[in-house]
Amino acid sequence: MKGGGAWTHTNYNLLGDSFALALSNGSTSATTWGWTAGLGIEYALTDHWTTFAEYDHFDIPAAIVPFPTVAIISANNIAIKQTVDLFKMGVNFRFDLGQWPPRI
């Protein structure tokens, strides 16, 4: 099990487009803090090879993002909430370097 803090820095782009002519565009960004929690399992296949499965959940609370004014859209503040559910599977190889570097 694991848990802790998480942050995201997201760039948002807005394009004022009337389907005939791209009128203007603007961009903004937001850095937001949240939390993460996860759990996983690892199994040794041999002395050097392991396999694992892991699930992580990231939750970033709603942030007020100020979108810029573009030609056909007036400026607005929009609340954006982000959550991510991530599942990972893989294999690991452990290199055995013996006593290098020497332990003191």
Q: What is the pLDDT of residues 16-49, one digit of tens each?
A: 666 666 677 778 888 899 999 999 999 999 989 9
Res 20: pLDDT: 65
Q: How far apart are CA 94 and CA 15, in angstroms?
A: 48
Nearest to 64 by CA among 16, 35, 32: 32
Report pLDDT digits (tens) over 43-90. Answer: 999 989 999 999 999 999 988 887 766 655 666 777 888 899 999 999
Give pLDDT, residue 17. 66
87 secondary structure, DSSP code? E
Say whether pTM exceeds 0.75: no
pLDDT at 6: 92
The predicted structure's pLDDT at residue 66: 78
- Higher pLDDT pick, 14 / 101: 14
State the pairing for strand pair 76-93/49-67: antiparallel
Judge whether 35 and 59 are in contact, CB under 8 Å: yes
Q: How many residues does the chain have?
A: 104
Give the Cα separation of 59 and 6 in Å (integer). Answer: 8
CB atoms within 10 A of CB 84: 13
